[in-house]
Structure 1
Amino acid sequence: MAMDRSSPRRPLWTAQLPVSNEGNHRISRVLIANRGEIACRIIKTCRLMGITSIAIYTKEDATSRHVSDADEAMNLGSVEHAQVNPFLDIPYLIQTAKQARADAIHPGYGYLSENSQFADAVRESGMVFIGPSSTAMSTLGDKRQAKEYLSKNEPIIPLIPGWNGSGEEMDLKQLEREAEAIGYPIMIKASAGGGGKGMRIVRSSSLLKSELERAQSEAKRSFGSSECILEKYIEAGKHVEVQIMGDKTGKVLSLWERDCSIQRRHQKVIEESPCAWLSPELREKMCNTAVKIGQLIKYEGAGTVEFILDIATGNFYFLEVNARLQVEHPITEECTGLDLVSLQIYVASGGVLGNLPQLKTIPQTGHAIECRLCAEDPIRDFAPQHGLVRFWEPANPDIPRDVRFETAIETGTRVSIFFDSMIAKIVVWAPTRDLAINKIVRTLSETACIGPSTNQCFLQACLMHEKFHSVDYTTAFIPSNLERLLENPHLKNFGLSLQELSAIPSMFIRELRSQSGLKQSRKVFGSIRSGFRNQTMDRVNVPWDIVTRHDAKAGSTVDPIVCRWLQESQSPPSDGFRVQVAPMPRPKTRAEAAEANGPEEATITYNTLSTALRRGPLPDSKQLDLQPHELRLFSAVLNTPNSWKVGRLGLSVSGQKYTVTLVSVDDRVLHLESDMGTPSKVLAHVPALGAPFEFHCYSPLSYFESLRASAGGEREASSKTILAPMPCKVLRVEKKNGDEVKMGEVVMVVESMKMEITITAGRDGIFQTTLKEGDSVDEGSLLCNLE
Structure 2
Amino acid sequence: MFKKILIANRGEIACRVIATARKLGIKTVAVYSDADAQARHVKLADEAFRLGPPAPRESYLRSEAILAIARQTGAEAIHPGYGFLSENEEFAEACAAAGVVFIGPPASAIAAMGSKSAAKTLMEGAAVPLVPGYHGDNQDAAFLQQEADRMGYPVLIKASAGGGGKGMKIVEHSADFAAQLASAQREARASFGDDKVLIEKYLTKPRHIEIQVFADTQGEAVYLFERDCSVQRRHQKVLEEAPAPGMTDALRAEMGNAAVNAAKAIGYVGAGTVEFIFDTLTGAFYFMEMNTRLQVEHPVTEMITGQDLVEWQLRVASGEPLPLRQHELRIHGHAFEARVYAEDPARDFLPQIGRLAHLSQPTASNHVRVDTGVESGDEISPFYDPMIAKLIVWDESRERALDRLNHALADYEVVGLPTNLAFLSQLASHPAFAACELDTGFIARHHAQLIPPTPAVDSDTLALAALAELAQVEAANLARRQHSSDAASPWWEADGWRLNQDNRHALHFRHGEQEYAVIAHYRDAGYLLEIGADKLEASGQLHGQRLQANLDGRRLQATVVRQAGKLTVVRAGSNTELEPFNPLLVGLQAAESGGGLSAPMPGTVVVVHVQAGEQVEKGTPLMILEAMKMEHTILAPHAGVVQAVFFQKGEQVKEGAALLEIAAE
Q: TM-score range by the shorter chain?
A: over 0.9
- Give the structure with the higher percent strand: 2
In the other structure, the counterpart of 2:320 is: 351
Q: Distance in 2 between matches of 1:544 and 1:68?
A: 47
2:402 is the counterpart of 1:437: yes
What letter is aligned with 2:517? V
Q: Distance in 1 between matches of 2:371 and 2:509?
A: 36
**Cα deviation, residue 532, structure 1:** 9.7
What letter is aligned with 1:312? L
2:254 is the counterpart of 1:291: no
Q: Distance in 2 between matches of 1:149 and 1:534?
A: 83
| Alignment equivalent of 1:378, drawn from 340, 345, 368 | 345
| Alignment equivalent of 1:113, drawn from 83, 86, 97 | 86
| Alignment equivalent of 1:256, drawn from 211, 220, 225 | 225
2:663 is the counterpart of 1:778: no
**Cα deviation, residue 505, structure 1:** 1.4
In the other structure, the counterpart of 1:733 is: 608
**Cα deviation, residue 385, structure 1:** 0.8
| Residue pair 1:724, 1:777 contacting (<8 A) in 2 also | yes
2:69 is the counterpart of 1:189: no
Q: Distance in 2 between matches of 1:267 and 1:522?
A: 59
**Cα deviation, residue 61, structure 1:** 2.2
2:529 is the counterpart of 1:579: yes
**Cα deviation, residue 223, structure 1:** 2.3
Over 3 Å counting, the alpha-carbon distance change for 1:768 and 1:101 in structure 2 is farther
What letter is aligned with 2:606? L
SS for the counterpart of 2:217 is coil
Q: How does 1:33-72 map to 2 (within 5 A)?
A: 33-72=8-47
Q: How does 1:357-372 map to 2 (within 5 A)?
A: 361-372=328-339
What letter is aligned with 2:347? R
Choose 36-45 or 197-206, whichever is displaced more.
Answer: 197-206
SS for the counterpart of 1:97 is helix
Q: Distance in 1 between matches of 2:472 and 2:25?
A: 47
Q: Distance in 2 between matches of 1:484 and 1:537?
A: 52
Choose 419-428 or 27-36, whichever is displaced more.
Answer: 27-36
Deviations 1:174-216 (A, max 9, x none): 0111101221111111112211111111111222122222222
2:568 is the counterpart of 1:683: yes
In the other structure, the counterpart of 1:632 is: 543
**Cα deviation, residue 535, structure 1:** 8.4
**Cα deviation, residue 779, structure 1:** 2.1
Q: TM-score, normalised by structure 1?
A: 0.80
Q: How does 1:207-246 map to 2 (within 5 A)?
A: 207-246=176-215
**Cα deviation, residue 383, structure 1:** 0.5
Q: Distance in 2 between matches of 1:537 and 1:193?
A: 74
Q: Distance in 1 between matches of 2:327 and 2:397?
A: 25
Q: Distance in 2 between matches of 1:247 and 1:500?
A: 58
Choose 88-97 or 472-481, whichever is displaced more.
Answer: 88-97
SS for the counterpart of 2:328 is coil
What letter is aligned with 1:709? Q
Q: Distance in 2 between matches of 1:104 and 1:532?
A: 66
| Residue pair 1:190, 1:228 contacting (<8 A) in 2 also | yes
What letter is aligned with 2:607? R
In the other structure, the counterpart of 2:583 is: 700
| Residue pair 1:458, 1:488 contacting (<8 A) in 2 also | no
What letter is aligned with 1:723? S
SS for the counterpart of 2:224 is strand
Q: Distance in 1 between matches of 2:506 and 2:195?
A: 60
**Cα deviation, residue 262, structure 1:** 0.4
**Cα deviation, residue 173, structure 1:** 0.6
Deviations 1:631-664 (A, max 9, x none): 211xxxxxxxxxxxxx101111111111101101
Choose 507-516 or 441-450, whichever is displaced more.
Answer: 507-516
2:37 is the counterpart of 1:73: no
SS for the counterpart of 2:647 is coil
In the other structure, the counterpart of 1:547 is: 509
| Alignment equivalent of 1:128, drawn from 101, 111, 118 | 101
SS for the counterpart of 1:516 is helix
In the other structure, the counterpart of 2:475 is: 515
**Cα deviation, residue 115, structure 1:** 1.5
| Residue pair 2:464, 2:549 contacting (<8 A) in 1 also | no
Q: Distance in 2 between matches of 1:697 and 1:337?
A: 50
In the other structure, the counterpart of 1:561 is: 516
SS for the counterpart of 1:283 is helix
**Cα deviation, residue 127, structure 1:** 0.8
Over 3 Å counting, the alpha-carbon distance change for 1:530 and 1:783 in structure 2 is farther
Over 3 Å counting, the alpha-carbon distance change for 1:531 and 1:512 in structure 2 is closer
What letter is aligned with 2:72? Q
| Residue pair 1:741, 1:767 contacting (<8 A) in 2 also | no
Q: Which has the larger radius of gyration?
A: 1
| Residue pair 2:32, 2:49 contacting (<8 A) in 1 also | yes
Over 3 Å counting, the alpha-carbon distance change for 1:507 and 1:522 in structure 2 is farther
CA RMSD of aligned residues (A): 2.4
Over 3 Å counting, the alpha-carbon distance change for 1:86 and 1:701 in structure 2 is same
| Residue pair 1:367, 1:429 contacting (<8 A) in 2 also | yes
Q: How does 1:369-518 map to 2 (within 5 A)?
A: 369-396=336-363, 400-487=365-452, 498-517=458-477
**Cα deviation, residue 296, structure 1:** 1.5
Q: How does 1:692-771 map to 2 (within 5 A)?
A: 692-702=575-585, 705-706=586-587, 709=589, 714=591, 717-763=592-638, 764-771=640-647
| Residue pair 1:719, 1:762 contacting (<8 A) in 2 also | no
In the other structure, the counterpart of 1:664 is: 562
Q: Distance in 2 between matches of 1:529 and 1:424?
A: 46
Q: How does 1:69-218 map to 2 (within 5 A)?
A: 69-80=44-55, 84-152=57-125, 154-155=126-127, 157-166=128-137, 169-218=138-187
Overall identity of the aligned pairs, in %: 37
Q: Distance in 2 between matches of 1:132 and 1:244?
A: 12
Over 3 Å counting, the alpha-carbon distance change for 1:99 and 1:206 in structure 2 is farther
What letter is aligned with 1:287? G
Over 3 Å counting, the alpha-carbon distance change for 1:88 and 1:207 in structure 2 is farther
Q: Distance in 2 between matches of 1:379 and 1:183?
A: 32
Q: How does 1:293-332 map to 2 (within 5 A)?
A: 293-332=262-301
SS for the counterpart of 1:773 is coil
Q: Distance in 1 between matches of 2:164 and 2:9?
A: 15
Q: How does 1:598-677 map to 2 (within 5 A)?
A: 621-628=533-540, 630-633=541-544, 647-666=545-564
What letter is aligned with 2:84? Y
What letter is aligned with 2:79? H
What letter is aligned with 1:472? E
SS for the counterpart of 2:145 is helix
In the other structure, the counterpart of 1:553 is: none
SS for the counterpart of 1:76 is strand
Q: Distance in 2 between matches of 1:65 and 1:35?
A: 9
Deviations 1:406-428 (A, max 9, x none): 00111101111111011100001
**Cα deviation, residue 357, structure 1:** 5.2
SS for the counterpart of 1:253 is strand
Q: Distance in 1 between matches of 2:538 and 2:123?
A: 68
Q: Distance in 2 between matches of 1:261 and 1:201?
A: 16
Q: TM-score, normalised by structure 2?
A: 0.94
Deviations 1:98-154 (A, max 9, x none): 3333211111111221111121112112111111111111112321111111212x1
What letter is aligned with 2:576? F
**Cα deviation, residue 695, structure 1:** 1.2
| Residue pair 1:130, 1:301 contacting (<8 A) in 2 also | yes
Over 3 Å counting, the alpha-carbon distance change for 1:519 and 1:357 in structure 2 is closer
| Residue pair 2:520, 2:527 contacting (<8 A) in 1 also | yes
**Cα deviation, residue 527, structure 1:** 8.6
**Cα deviation, residue 360, structure 1:** 5.2
